[in-house]
Amino acid sequence: MRRTLVVGNWKMHGSRPANAELLAGVLAARPFLADVAVCVPFVYLNETAATLAGSEVRWGAQDVSQHAQGPHTGEISAAMLSEFGCRYAIVGHSERRAHHAESDDLVAAKAQAALSRGVTPIVCVGETLAERESGQTEAVVKRQLSAVIHTLAHCAAEMVVAYEPVWAIGTGRTASPEQAQAVHAVLRAQLQAATGRGDAMRILYGGSVKPDNAAMLFAQPDIDGGLIGGAALKAADFVAICRA
């Protein structure tokens, strides 16, 4: 039985007062049946960890360096994240693939760096609209996932996967539950073939998940929760999705 996991991806949003209000709203709504986590900007990790300590709500980062340490100005290592009690690190978000030229191999190296320090990578995969319209969805997500499976090898079953069609992120245009389920089934089969533990692994859906569509998406057999952007910034919306 896979437990539903709902992760808020705050992206580059927030401020100390806004975060305090948001986290207070999430904490007040406990307990949740689902596992719940928030991935916050690096600078807010310390305060987030302090605020959530002792609760079952987890916290994580939105990226991690592939390097262990050294002359990498501006980078944050997995060892540093683990010092702050990070449970998760998002890697390979499409915004980083597109705007920071992150390749499949780099994403895989980041996933490995996270795992080596006990931080669970949430590995994002997803096709652009052009790729979907030209019938390449399956090939693209399988290629993206395959790089990570290869690199993590016998540890691949430790990751969380997030399917995020690029055309659905921040656009208000969600994949239909059937469209999302079809891709999740492909990813699960790939994970099962590679690790033998695909049935136990969590595959999240991300891309314009809102309180009014979350339940339909999460009801699909291979959708194990969500990676939530915009709707994770309002406690009432995020809580409604965690309860969906």
Q: Which residues are catalytic?
A: 93, 164
CA dihedral 16→211→163→112, nearest 10 degrees, is: 30
Report residue 107 as tokens.
């994403």
Q: For the chain, where are the alpha helices, taking DSSP H only?
A: 16-28, 45-52, 78-83, 94-99, 104-116, 129-133, 137-152, 177-195, 214-218, 235-242
**x/- site string to ligand PGA, residues 46 to 85, per CB under 6 A?**
----------------------------------------
Compute the least distance from the CB of residue 230 to ligand PGA, in Å: 4
> 16 in the Ramachandran plot: left (φ > 0), alpha (ψ -120 to 50) or beta?
alpha
Single residue of 208, 218, 241, 242 touching ligand PGA by CB under 6 A: 208
Among 207, 213, 217, 222, binds ligand PGA (CB under 6 A): 207
CB distance 204 to 225 below 8 Å: yes
Q: Choose, by CB under 6 A, the member of 57, 76, 152, 228 that binds ligand PGA.
A: 228
Q: Which stretch binds ligand PGA (CB under 6 A): 52-60, 64-72, 80-88, 201-209?
A: 201-209
CB of 213 to ligand PGA, least distance (A): 11
82/88 Cα distance (integer angstroms): 9
To the nearest whole angstrom, how small is the minimum distance from the Cβ of residue 57 to ligand PGA?
18
**Residue ranges that bind ligand PGA, judged by CB under 6 A:** 9, 164, 169-170, 206-209, 227-231
